[in-house]
Amino acid sequence: MKQTHPALTHWPEKATPMSIASIATRDQLLRALDSIVAIFQGDAQDLPVESFANDMQLFTSHRGTHQGRRNVHLALRGSQLPSFDIELANIVTLGDAHKATASAYILGRTTTNGQPVQFVGVLVLHLLAIDNSALVTEVRLQLNSVEGSPETLPDWTPPIAHRQWKPGDAPAVVSSELDAPWHRIPHNTLMLTDEEQMAHAWFRYAWGLDQADHALLGQSFTQDARAVLPPMGTLQGHRMLVTTLKAFRMPWPWMLHAGTPIEIAHTPGNSHARMVLGRLIPGRTRLEDGRRLYGAHYQLELVQSAGDWLLQDMDYHEGWVSEAPSL
């Protein structure tokens, strides 16, 4: 299945001037992500030399560490792997004059020997300026869970999921404090549209929640934010939101909140916006006719403060939907 970026399809082609001093554009970073996905799912022969450094490194939780563009390709694809259907969600792209980074949640599935397998994880690319080009030097792929029949993928090391850490467990290859885009690029100068920045606000919330990065989680809300989140109920105020979400989320470290904006209402120059965001459930992201399927959706209100978009109001609505709920 060809990888697409549905979050971009309904948005106007306007950009908020931030700076031109970034080593890479958003389009370059999206193409780099697509190149990794194309190799992983079996749709490409190699990683393009114009985007990936010769001595690049790959760190994975399921197939170890590898160096060199060709070795990275072989490790991503392998010789015995089936073809995968892979989608990316929660895509974040940031950059400055010296480096850039792109991250995404990765949702994959396949059927091998009649047995279904699905997985979710986090993909992070780090780029540096080399010989006047922005090249990927580091790829990190952490699988959070593999469901179904993982024994049909014998050369994979399954992730630690439904149990607590114990001595001898391998360290995670993605650590938010070291790899999150917002930590790597604290002062972004990459050109982003207003709508892309708004989407980043929810993606930062989801990342902070899922990766147990409570500093990022705390940066996602206004001080008087409100949220209606079953089964927690109505949460009012920054402190109640952060402390309750932190306590509620801790028992399920393997779960990821993948989502994509469906509709955004915003007047240029206005510091308030509204957004409908669909929750993507691994293994059930599309109907048979190809239409997008959402397992739930959020009604969001956002406020811009000091140039940063924050979540002001968040209502979570359970239930499968295939059409965009109205703002």
Q: Which two tokens stand for residue 201?
A: 């606000």
pLDDT of 131 over the 50 cut: yes
Write down the pLDDT at residue 12.
36
Q: Listing from the earlier edge strand, what are the strands of the sheet with 233-236?
A: 233-236, 221-229, 308-321, 294-305, 272-280, 258-265
Average pLDDT (271-283) is 94
Amino acid at position 105, single letter: Y
Q: For the residues 262-269, what does the mean pLDDT come to?
A: 94
Mean pLDDT of 221-245: 95
pLDDT for position 327: 74
Q: Which of 7-11, 238-242, 244-248 has the lowest mean pLDDT?
A: 7-11
DSSP 8-state assignment for residue 37: H
The overall average pLDDT reported for the chain is 89
Map tokens 């391998």 to a residue: 170
Whether the predicted pLDDT of 229 surpasses 80:
yes
- Give the pLDDT of residue 143: 94
DSSP 210: H
Which H helix or E strand runs over 217?
A: helix 214-218
- The C-alpha atoms of residue 163 and residue 94 are separated, in whole angstroms, by 34
The residue with greater pLDDT, 253 or 90, is: 90
pLDDT of residue 154: 79
- The 10s digit of each residue's pLDDT in 137-159 is 999 999 999 988 877 887 888 88
The whole-number pLDDT of residue 20 equals 55
Evaluate whether 237 touches 227 at the Cβ level (below 8 Å): no
Segment 63-68 shows an average pLDDT of: 95
Cα 90 → chain centroid:
4
Is pLDDT of 297 > 80?
yes
Q: Are 193 and 14 in contact, with CB atoms under 8 Å apart?
A: yes
117 or 66, greater pLDDT: 66
Please list the helix, strand and coil fractions of the chain in percent, rounded to the nearest 5, in that order: 20, 40, 40
Higher pLDDT among residues 236 and 132, named by residue: 236
**pLDDT band with cut points at 50, 70 and 90 for residue 112:** confident
Average pLDDT value for residue range 33-52: 92
Q: What's the confidence (pLDDT) of residue 325?
A: 74
Q: What is the pLDDT of residue 200?
A: 98
- For 172-203, the pLDDT digits (tens) are 999 999 999 999 999 999 999 999 999 999 99
